[in-house]
Structure 1
C-alpha cells in the first residue's frame, strides 16, 4: 500500500485555526483561544501529519527540556481522518524522533486513550486515572 501521508515538524505548515477549533471543543482544551494555541505551538516541539496535498490530518506537541523530560500534549486527529490509523502513525513517529527517543521520561494525561498509549510503553502513574508515563531513567 502506498503511503498517503507525511509527517513534518515545520510549524509553518500547521493549520493553527483548525487546531484551535478542535482543541477548544475538546474536554481538555475548552476555551483555548487562537492566541493561546499560537503561544503553545511557539513554545513546543510540534508534529503535523498531512495528506500528500498538504491537508492537515492531525497534530501533536511535546513540551520538553530536550534532555530529560517530554510532556505529550494536544495529540489530535481531525474528525474526518479518525478511525484510519493516523493517530497510531503520529504517535509512532513522535516516539521514533531522535530528540524524543533520547528523553529519559515521557508523560501525558488522557481521559480515554490509555490503550493506545499502553501499546507504546506508557503506564499509569499511581492511582491517577489520567496521568501516564514512560520512565527510562535509572535511579540509584
Structure 2
C-alpha cells in the first residue's frame, strides 16, 4: 500500500533542498535526543546519511525531517525524525516513516532499527515493533 501524504505536502531525498540551519535548530533545541548538538556535528550527520525532508508544496518550506544511516544493502538506522510542532497530529510523521520505509526496502535493506522514547504508535503504523530478542543486542558508547 502506497503511503498517503496529506494534501499540500511532499517528501524529497534531495540534499540540496534541506534547510540545514532549521534542522539544526529543531534538533538542538526541541528534541529530547539531540539538545545541544553542535552545528558541525549535525552537518556531519546530514552528510553521512540518507536524508528525507517534508516540504509544503506551495512555499517549499521544510516542515519535517528524518535521516537514515545505512549501508544501502543490509542495515539501516532511522534517526532524527522531526515534524514542526504546529503540524504534528496531521499524519505527516506517519507518512514520512512509511515513505522512507518503502524507499529503504527498495534498496534491498531488510532491517531498519530505531529507538524512540515517545512515538511507538507512530512507528507501529509503519510495521515497526519491539526487538524479539533484545538480549542479543549490545551497545558501545554513551546512552
Shorter-chain TM-score bucket reads 0.7 to 0.9
Q: Aligned pair count? A: 128
**Which residue in 2 is equivalent to 1:81?**
87
Contact 2:52 2:67 survives alignment (8 Å) = yes
| CA distance, structure 2, for counterparts of residue 72 and residue 89 of structure 1 | 14
* SS of structure 1 residue aligned to 2:73: coil
For structure 1, the residue ranges without an aligned partner over 5 or more in a row are 132-140
| CA distance, structure 1, for counterparts of residue 74 and residue 42 of structure 2 | 24
| CA distance, structure 2, for counterparts of residue 100 and residue 41 of structure 1 | 21
Which structure 2 residues correspond to residues 1-140 of structure 1 after superposition, within 5 A?
3-25=7-29, 26-52=31-57, 53-97=59-103, 102-125=108-131
Contact 1:48 1:59 survives alignment (8 Å) = yes
Contact 1:44 1:63 survives alignment (8 Å) = yes
Q: Aligned Cα RMSD in Å?
A: 2.0
> Which of structures 1 and 2 has the larger relative contact order (alpha carbons within 8 angstroms, sep 6+)?
2
| CA distance, structure 2, for counterparts of residue 81 and residue 24 of structure 1 | 19
For structure 2, the residue ranges without an aligned partner over 5 or more in a row are 1-5, 138-143
Normalised by the length of structure 2, the TM-score is 0.81
